[in-house]
Structure formats: C-alpha cells, structure tokens
Amino acid sequence: MMSQSLSKTVKKTRVNSPFSVMVHKEMADHIRSWRFIILIGLIILTFIASMYVSLGNIRSAIGNVNDPDHTFLYLKLLTTTDNSTPPFHVFLSFLAPLLGISLGFDAVNSEQNKGTLTRLMAQPVYRDNLLLAKFVSALMLVAALFLVLVFLMIGGGLVLTGVRMEPQELLRIIGFIVISITYVGFWLSLSIVLSIKFRQAATSALTAIGIWLFFTVFYQIVVNLAIRSLLPDPAFLTQDQILGYNELILNVLRIAPNQLYTDASTTMLMPSVRSLGPMTMEQMAGAIPAPLPFKESLMIVWPQVSGMIGATVTCFALSYYLFMRREIRS
Amino acid sequence: MKNPIIQLKSLTKCYGSQKAVNNLNLDIQKGEIFGLLGPNGAGKTTTILMMLGLTDPTSGSAFVCGYNATNNPISVKRKVGYMPDSLGFYDDMTALENLMYIARLNGLTEKEIKIRTAEVMEIVGLSSVMNKKTSAFSRGMKQRLGLADVLIKEPEVIILDEPTLGIDPNGVREFLTLIKRLSKEQELTVLLSSHHLHHVQQVCDRVGIFVKGELLAQGNIDTLSGHLFGKAGHVVSISLVNDIPQPWTLEQELQKLETIKQITINKNTVEFECEQVITPELVRFFVEKDYGILGVYQKDYGLDDIYQKYFEDIN
C-alpha cells in the first residue's frame, strides 16, 4: 500500500515512553473526573475554614509570649485554632486517607471490568508501568494541590501582614507538605493493592475505608484494652518501669499510620516539640522552652517519615506481587 | 521448510486439577489465516493468552515471531495485534482518542499518529464517527474500532478472539471480508478463534479443531473431510421421475463398475457410494437407459459435518 509505505518513511522524532503516556492519560482522567473536583472542593473548603479561624486568632497567638513558638507567624497560621474547628494539619490527617483511597480504590479493577485492561496489556508495555502510572499520576495531582494551597497561604499572608518569613518556616512548611504527600501516598498504594485484590470497586473501597476507620477509631481502643488486661498495676511499678511501659504503648500505637502522620506533622509545625515520647525529669531539667532548629525537628520525625515510606513501599511491593504474574482476562 | 511464525510446543495449562490446554503442538506459517475452532470453554482463549504472555503456561512453550512469549512478552506484543473477545474502550474518550492512546503506547511519534490513525480509521470505515465517544458505539462499531486498534501498530500477526461474536450477519460478512483483504494485501498472519464454523469456513486457509483442551485435527477443510470421511467416500444420489421396480435389473450392470461400493434404492432415488467421483458417468448411464432424471445431488462434506463428527466422538 502506498500510504502505508509513506507513513513508514516518516522520520522517527521524539517518542514518549509508554510510562509517561500512561501518566499523562491518567492525570487527564483524574482532572476531568467529578470525583477529583469534589475532593478538591472538600480540601479547599477545609483550608479556607481553618485559615479563617486561625486568622481570627492570630493576634492573640502571636502576642502570647509564654508560647516559645509565638514568633513563627506562618506556622501559627497553620496551627492556631479557637477550638471551634481543628487546625489544618489535624483536618488533613482525616482528609488525606480519603483522598488517597478515593483516587486509588478502582485503579485496576475498573479497567478490568471495562475490558480495557486486556487491550492495554496487549500493547508492548511493562505491567508494572501501569501500576506505577496509576500511583504517580494521582500523587502528582495531590502534590500539586497541596503545594498550590500552601503557597497561596504564604503569599496571602505576606501580602496581608507584610511580615518577613523565616527561611526555617518555609522549610518546615515544605517538610509538612512532603510528609502529607507521603501519607496520601500510603493510602493510595494501599487502595491500589485492594483494587487488584478485589474485582468489585465497591468491595475494595469499603475495605480501604474499613482499614482507615480501624486505625483512626478502634486501634487505640483495642490497644488500651489489651494494655489494661495485660500490664501490671502501675501502683506497684517503679518510675523507670512505668516509663518503659509508656514507651512500649507508644510504639504499639505508632503502628497506626495516622499516629505517625500526626506525630510528624505536629513536630514539623511546632518547633518547640522536643520529643515524641515521654521524658524524664532529668532530661527536662535545665531545658529552656525554646524552638528547635529545623534540622533537629527533622531528626525527631525521621523515624515517622521512614515508617510511612516503608509502609507505602510494602503496599506497593504487594501490588507488584499480586499483579505481575496474574492472568489478564476480562 | 520455512520457519513457522507461531510455534506452540507441547503447551499445557492447568487450573488446579483441570487441564484447560493439554499438550498443544501447533505451527502456523507466515501469511496464513488459521482458524481455531472449538466450543465454548475448549481453551481457545487460554491458548491465545499464553501466546501473548498474558498468562503463564504450566509447561511447554509458545514462540511467536521467534520470541518466547512467556519470557519476552514485550517483543511479542510489539509484533502481534490482539483483539480480545470482550472489547472495552474508555467511554469518556472519543474513538480517535482511544486509538491515539494505543498508538502512543506503541511508541509512534505524533506525526506518525496523525497519518496512521486517519489511515486506519479509513480502512475499518469509521472515519465519519471517529470523533464520537465510544460509549455511543454499537457492538459492530466497537469491533471495527478494535480492529483499528490492532492495525495501528502495523503488526505481523493478528490474533482475533471471537471476532464475530454478537454482530449481525451483514456485519460478520463485511468484517471477515475485511480481514481476508488485509491479510492478502499486507501479508498478515491471522489467527482467528471462533465457535462459528461458517465464519471460519469463509476465510480460513487452515483450521484446527480444538475440543476440551486438545487439538483433535488440523488442516484445510478438504483434508479434514478427507481424513474423516475418506472411508465413506463420495456419495451421489439421483432422483428419477418414476419409482424403481424391485428387484431392479440394472443393478447388476452398475455393480460391475469397480468404484461403486454400495447402492441404496429408496422408491425413486438411488444413492451411490463410490471411491471416485463418477457422477457424469452415472447420469449418462441413466439417460441412455431412458430414465427421466429429476435431480442429481453430490454430497459435499462441510465444516458442519466435520464439527458434528468430532463432537459425536467426544460425547
């Protein structure tokens, strides 16, 4: 055929790798979907509500000289509240799982049910590219959303107050955003695993929400129950033993990803937090209540962050394991 | 001996204790249209999935275009276009966007994509509706878009899984003609699976009959019928104006012809079973003896009979 030979002679110029083609397509799909619009609306509403409350209380928070963090205006903007609504980072610890779950719960099973998965897998693309594209595209959108919100806040704050921003504050806020994105990434990869495991999107969504509810609501109750029945009466223990047990309880609670996130984001946004565990009187003695430098705060949250990354990677490895050798059939 | 483009060597796939495909050996040459014929659940789709590396064989190996499909599926998928039996498209995208997505995944440049998509849409006859969303497409249109999907990557081999399922007879004919034409024009090798014998009969050079995971026979339709009905030979029945009297004096004379093995008389029809085709001789004989001939019917064995015969053996 004439036309065929014609098209064959067209010089090969720049060719996108299948992976970037997939990421493009997934991102376009997300942006056009109602689901994502609703989620953006939800996050922006939360942001506006918490900004409104913190702006109303910022004067008293900055004026409070007893608070070692009172000089950090922009961190205060993110954390101040008059207790009518929770501050932004606490709100986010509820919304981030929702964001991750809703972007990932039907990643693979909807393609399978529509019959597009077979067609896709019949193309010369690696299977893991599909999983990675689903993960990366959703995470990029979330990252963009968070960064835009926070930079809007910073810019707005600069224009409204005219207060200079400490470099440390910027680093802390960016650290907080990175931690939040990692947290969303964990829930995203968990929901992708569930979307591979379950054929029905509703089942995988429900399971993901179940896991989220378990960790936010029931996990603490279960741990407390177990501790009360297993641990000896504190009245008969020395202080060292009590401290040891407290540490143990905290470590058990830290299995929950939301606990890790709350710990990490609090330390990032409140420079005066010096430790996430119990401290003895000796450790406290002589300590001046002053904000920690950024590097020290980072050192405190590093175990939390690596825990979250570890959990994400585990979920992702599991999704590879489930998907790579699976029979693709609709 | 040419190197076959598809080569399956003692391919076996088990689901638990059930054998979906059992020790399948099959060679398909370049440029052939091969029909994989079998009832539902015979293991046709499983075989195809193994050829594309979409599922792993329990034992044995599948070579397509010289690549091992299990170890090197990407190279195979570059050369092979596969149309699954239940086609799905992204409903919120237009036909053109769906096709362009697949083209991009195959590493075509934007310039090539523009030319190729227009070309392929023209070939499958969807140019007028290519900017419509695929959710509005009928089954037949989706099937055509599926074929466009396959052709966009300029494959060497096309594998079509139940391509005629759920389209009306007119659509089937057009579709099969299209496949046949493409195969001739572009020297494509086509593997077509179906449980519809007539469709397969229309286009395939060679047929493999596949039942319960085993390939019972392969070859072109003449070979298959010869293979099966060779012993029975050719059957000619001649119906006459008047009933034949019993006993029939001419029977003796006919018996002298060596190729005739059996003569059955039923009122005004005579059925001859013979080793060679002697229909003209028989007609001349009757004319010479002044018999009025109403009709001559030479029985041919079609795929239907072949199919039937195999199922008789199985059940």
The pLDDT value recorded for residue A2 is 43
The tens digit of pLDDT for each residue in A113-155 reads: 988 999 999 999 998 899 999 999 999 999 999 999 888 888 8
The pLDDT value recorded for residue B267 is 78
Q: What is the mean pLDDT of the segment spanning B30-40? A: 87
> What's the pLDDT band for A284 if we cut at 50, 70, 90?
low
- What CA–CA distances, in Å, run from B73 to A125, A127, B53, B154? 9, 10, 5, 17
Residue % of chain B over a pLDDT of 70: 91
- CA-nearest residue to B78 within chain A is A124
- Higher-pLDDT residue of B174, B166: B174
The pLDDT value recorded for residue A327 is 81
The pLDDT value recorded for residue A99 is 92
Using the predicted structure, report yes or no on whether residue A5 has a pLDDT greater than 60: no
The pLDDT value recorded for residue A3 is 44
Q: What mean pLDDT value characterizes chain A?
A: 86
Q: What is the mean pLDDT of the segment spanning A246-259? A: 86
The pLDDT value recorded for residue A163 is 83
The pLDDT value recorded for residue A205 is 95
Residue % of chain B over a pLDDT of 90: 29
Q: Which residue in B214, B176, B230, B200 sits closest to B313, CA to CA?
A: B214
Whether chain A has a CB inside 8 Å of the CB on B187: the answer is no
Q: Which residue in A134, A139, A142, A138 sits closest to A323, CA to CA?
A: A134
Using the predicted structure, report yes or no on whether residue B271 has a pLDDT greater than 70: yes
- The distance of B95 to chain A (nearest Cα, Å) reads 13
Q: Token pair 């059930």 is at which residue? A: B18
- The distance of B109 to chain A (nearest Cα, Å) reads 5
Residue % of chain A over a pLDDT of 90: 42
The pLDDT value recorded for residue A281 is 66
CA distance B315 to B309: 10
The pLDDT value recorded for residue A330 is 66
A124–B109 CB contact, under 8 Å = no
Beta bridge partners of B262: B273
The pLDDT value recorded for residue A1 is 39
Using the predicted structure, report yes or no on whether residue A6 has a pLDDT greater than 50: no
Whether chain B has a CB inside 8 Å of the CB on A329: the answer is yes
Whether chain B has a CB inside 8 Å of the CB on A20: the answer is no
Give me the phi and psi of B22, to 5 degrees please: -120, 110
Q: Is the pTM of this model over 0.90?
A: no
Burial label for A13, CB within 10 Å (0-12, 13-18, 19+), is exposed
- What CA–CA distances, in Å, run from B170 to A218, B140, B147, B175, B199? 62, 10, 17, 9, 12
Using the predicted structure, report yes or no on whether residue B288 has a pLDDT greater than 60: yes
Paired sense of beta strands B189-194 and B157-161, if any: parallel
- Higher-pLDDT residue of B230, B212: B212
Residue B277 CB neighbours (<10 A): 13
The tens digit of pLDDT for each residue in A199-245 reads: 999 999 999 999 999 998 899 899 988 888 887 777 787 888 888 88
DSSP annotation string for A56-96: HHHHHHHH-TTSTTTT-HHHHHHH---SSS--HHHHHHHHH
The pLDDT value recorded for residue A38 is 93
- The distance of A231 to chain B (nearest Cα, Å) reads 48
Helix boundaries (H) for chain A = 2-9, 18-32, 34-63, 73-79, 88-104, 109-114, 116-121, 127-161, 167-197, 201-213, 219-230, 239-253, 257-269, 281-284, 294-324
The pLDDT value recorded for residue A100 is 94
Using the predicted structure, report yes or no on whether residue A15 has a pLDDT greater than 80: no
The pLDDT value recorded for residue B128 is 93
Using the predicted structure, report yes or no on whether residue B231 has a pLDDT greater than 70: no
The tens digit of pLDDT for each residue in A51-104 reads: 888 888 888 888 888 888 888 888 888 888 887 888 888 888 888 999 999 999
Least confident of A137-151, B186-200, B239-253: B239-253
Q: Which residue in B89, B48, B49, B54 sits closest to A127, CA to CA?
A: B54
The pLDDT value recorded for residue B270 is 82
Using the predicted structure, report yes or no on whether residue B268 has a pLDDT greater than 90: no
Using the predicted structure, report yes or no on whether residue B228 has a pLDDT greater than 70: no
Q: What is the mean pLDDT of the segment spanning B146-159? A: 92
The pLDDT value recorded for residue A8 is 44
Using the predicted structure, report yes or no on whether residue B232 has a pLDDT greater than 60: no
Of B80, B88, B112, which is closest to A330 when you measure between CB atoms? B88
> Which residues lie closer than 8 Å to A48 by C-beta, 6 or more apart?
none
For residue A328, list chain B residues with Cβ-Cβ distance below 8 A. 49, 54-55
- Work out whether the CA dihedral A238, A241, A245, A251 comes out positive or negative: positive
